[in-house]
């Protein structure tokens, strides 16, 4: 029991992006009160944390879950409606509580499940004005929220910056997502990394980036030569070598978690990606945690 003449407030120190509620009710004396004996009851309060899970990454489908507090979104929907629901359920998330879907571009591995899934949930789909008509919506009526590449979006507790990426699509974009002092970068499907993208990725705590192909495997692989040229081109996909150079020379030191994905099942191997990235990180003596998002398998849930 606390002596009369004391008042409370909830003090909530913040120790950084990984802090999780170090708040407690504090009793302090009212003016003129002489009673100093009291029992301090500490009650921890959990802050809203940011949760991220790469549900799928690769040519067979792309979909990433991001949440903070009461806000839940998907970035891309390249899996069937049933598979998206199953993978969300597997991480304890209810698909009916999703607030929005963000679409990076119209290629099938990013939107195959979008029309039916979005229409069934009746949630808004954010995508660029040129991407929207490039998608085959069929008979489904989705709530489309078009934006211009370079715009800043607000979805619940999430602040989302969009930016153009070099890829052979109608109007492809990448995203950075901010919430509670945490910044997430999500950039896949790009042929090279221009300075504009490096600028947007500054200060990211979690970076999801593609490491699509090994150049030698691609050259001797099964793809037709025209497709190989497209993949290697400036509007294609990032090679392990390009990603190595980016990590070794220009990845921001704020990046404490690096997830490499969109790995080709024909022209790359997860262990090649891991080895190359580990060498690049060791060269800079960065203490960045490295995770490989393997094709057809979702990652763990990252909490920041």
Count of the separate structural domains present in the chain: 2
What pLDDT is recorded for position 48? Answer: 57
Last residue of a domain, one of 13, 28, 47: 47
With residue 207 as reference, give the H or E element that holds it: strand 206-210
Same domain assignment for residues 256 and 284? yes
Same domain assignment for residues 65 and 141? yes
What pLDDT is recorded for position 285? Answer: 87
What pLDDT is recorded for position 14? Answer: 35
Same domain assignment for residues 28 and 147? no
Last residue of a domain, one of 12, 31, 47: 47
Average pLDDT, the chain: 87
Same domain assignment for residues 1 and 128? no
Please give the average per-residue pLDDT across 258-280, as a whole number.
97
What is the tens place of the pLDDT at every residue in 181-206? 999 999 999 999 999 999 999 999 99
pLDDT of 269 strictly over 80: yes
Same domain assignment for residues 143 and 230? yes
List the CATH number of the domain containing 150. 3.60.15.10
What pLDDT is recorded for position 10? Answer: 33
Same domain assignment for residues 38 and 152? no
Q: Are 169 and 189 in contact (CB under 8 A)?
A: yes
Same domain assignment for residues 30 and 101? no
Same domain assignment for residues 115 and 65? yes
Q: Which residues contact 210 (CB under 8 A, 6 or more apart)?
A: 57, 187, 188, 189, 190, 237, 238, 243, 260, 261, 262, 263
**Cα 129 to chain center, whole Å?**
22
What pLDDT is recorded for position 286? Answer: 86
Residue linked to tokens 């500490």? 42
Same domain assignment for residues 248 and 232? yes
**How many angstroms separate the CA atoms of 27 and 67, rounded?**
34
**How many angstroms separate the CA atoms of 267 and 222, rounded?**
9
Same domain assignment for residues 132 and 18? no
Same domain assignment for residues 11 and 59? no
pLDDT of 35 strictly over 80: no
**Which range of residues forms the domain containing residue 37?**
1-47
What is the tens place of the pLDDT at every residue in 68-118? 999 999 999 999 999 999 999 999 999 999 999 999 999 999 999 999 999
What is the tens place of the pLDDT at every residue in 122-132? 999 999 999 99
Same domain assignment for residues 43 and 54? no
What is the tens place of the pLDDT at every residue in 149-181? 999 999 999 999 999 999 999 999 999 999 999
Tokens representing residue 159 in the block: 């602040």
Taking the CB of residue 176, how many other CB atoms lie within 10 A of it? Answer: 22
Residue linked to tokens 């690049």? 280
**How many angstroms separate the CA atoms of 185 and 20, rounded?**
22
Q: Please give the span between the terminal C-alpha atoms of the chain, in angstroms, as a whole number.
A: 37
- CA angle 115–119–124, rounded 5-degree value: 95
């Amino acid at each position: 029991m606390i002596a009369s003449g004391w008042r409370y407030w909830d003090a909530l120190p913040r120790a950084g992006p990984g802090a999780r509620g170090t708040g407690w009710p504090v009793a302090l004396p009212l003016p003129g009160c002489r009673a100093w004996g009291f029992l301090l009851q500490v009650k921890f309060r959990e802050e809203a944390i940011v949760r991220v899970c790469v549900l799928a990454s690769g040519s067979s489908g792309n979909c990433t879950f991001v949440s903070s507090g009461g806000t839940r979104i998907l970035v891309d929907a390249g899996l069937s409606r049933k598979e998206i629901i199953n993978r969300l359920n597997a991480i304890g998330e209810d698909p009916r509580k999703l607030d929005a879907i963000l679409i990076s571009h119209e290629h099938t591995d990013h939107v195959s499940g979008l029309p039916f899934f979005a229409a069934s949930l009746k949630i808004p789909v954010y995508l660029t004005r040129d991407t929207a008509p490039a998608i085959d919506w069929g008979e489904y009526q989705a709530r489309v929220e078009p934006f211009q590449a370079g715009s800043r979006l607000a979805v619940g507790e999430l602040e989302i910056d969009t930016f153009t990426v070099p890829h052979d699509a109608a109007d492809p974009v990448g995203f950075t997502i901010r919430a509670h002092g945490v910044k997430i970068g999500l950039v896949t499907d790009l042929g090279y990394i221009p300075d504009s993208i490096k600028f947007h990725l500054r200060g990211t705590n979690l970076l999801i980036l593609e490491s699509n192909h090994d150049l030698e495997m691609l050259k001797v692989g099964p793809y037709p030569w025209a497709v190989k040229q497209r993949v290697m081109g400036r509007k294609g996909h990032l090679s392990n070598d390009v990603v190595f150079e980016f990590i070794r020379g220009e990845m921001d030191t704020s990046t404490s978690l690096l997830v490499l994905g969109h790995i080709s099942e024909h022209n790359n191997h997860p262990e090649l990606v891991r080895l190359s990235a580990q060498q690049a990180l060791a060269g800079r003596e960065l203490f960045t945690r490295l995770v490989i998002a393997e094709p057809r398998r979702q990652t763990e849930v990252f909490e920041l």
